[in-house]
Structure 1
């Protein structure tokens, strides 16, 4: 009823059909055969659909929990396979290593900000003026340091990864400079002074 009709006398044959040769039974398949006790539960879990919405939601929640656990471990160890999308790729890894291999003024911002805050709360007007000047000085230093890092990082990325997309890598690196080294995620993989 729904078959395509060919002109009378013509037989429809596939044009590009190549005769398939059976696989040589002696040829290796490239992986070991799983044991039955491993294969059966895996097959059951893949084929068995959830009975109701509650089961489906529970499975989804468990899957999300395991994915987040893997992601946390990857952020601590630097394992590229499970990193979030924003941290994946050779360009982002190089940007992280570039920042982690040097001291930056921006990473000292929080400790300096605490000192400035304490100085600004003192009753002496001289100390308040010093804290304002210190704010200005720190901000100018951070801007100069950040511009220098951005220029050097762009140049190194162009040399090392000419064909890779580099969009957002410099901003990613500059945001990383604002964090204290031990608080950075993914954890630093290079020592200070080491050339990435």
Structure 2
């Protein structure tokens, strides 16, 4: 009753066009948007096809993807595959630092066995043996500090020579922390033998 004529006319035209069969679009006529690249169209189709329908399925899919990533990382840490290593271990600088540490004997890698031995000695209630145990603690700590300082300065010279255009931040600390691990338990696994030049 209070409708304007233009709205009535629009409704009638829409009804009449809906009744008529739709004519195919002229291929030469512009469609009002650019044609997407094939790669974009395929990736959109893939995401639509793989997107889960509800939140529960999405969480499950995300958990499975995270589990697969962690499995790949564990495998890479075991065999040294550079592609799937964690960000902390990636890159030629970190690989060189690992190889440099793995190719030499380090005092710090013997800290755990020595600490167990010293603890056993401190439990013996003989004053001379306890004094020897305390001196052994002091000696091993001083040796570890000296060895770490030597590694720090040697890597400080070697890394800029070998990798002048790379980011060297944190590489020396990464190498020194690796010395504290027993060689057999290091991750990523050592890729060089002792005495072999990296």
TM-score (normalizing by structure 2): 0.76
Show the counterpart of 1:47: 48
3-state DSSP of counterpart to 2:196: coil
Deviations 1:97-142 (A, max 9, x none): 0000000000000000000000000010111111000000000000
CA RMSD, 1 decimal: 1.6
Show the counterpart of 2:164: 162
CA distance in 2, matches of 1:57, 1:105: 47
Distance apart, 1:51 and its partner CA: 1.0
Structure whose residues are more often helix by fraction: 2
CA distance in 1, matches of 2:184, 2:145: 22
**Map 1:8-157 → 2, pairs under 5 A:** 46-48=47-49, 49-157=51-159
CA distance in 1, matches of 2:45, 2:161: 50
3-state DSSP of counterpart to 1:86: helix
- Who wins on radius of gyration, i.e. which is larger? 2
Structure 2 unmatched runs, 5+:
1-42
Structure 1 unmatched runs, 5+:
1-41
Distance apart, 1:43 and its partner CA: 9.1
Deviations 1:18-67 (A, max 9, x none): xxxxxxxxxxxxxxxxxxxxxxxx99764322111100000000000000
Q: Select which of 175, 178, 193 maps to 2:177.
A: 175
Structure 1 outlier segments of 4+, above 3 Å: 42-46
CA distance in 2, matches of 1:136, 1:45: 63
Show the counterpart of 2:187: 185
Deviates more, 1:84-93 or 1:42-51: 42-51
Distance apart, 1:163 and its partner CA: 1.0
3-state DSSP of counterpart to 1:179: coil
Deviations 1:51-86 (A, max 9, x none): 111000000000000000000000001000000000
Distance apart, 1:153 and its partner CA: 1.0
CA distance in 2, matches of 1:130, 1:43: 71
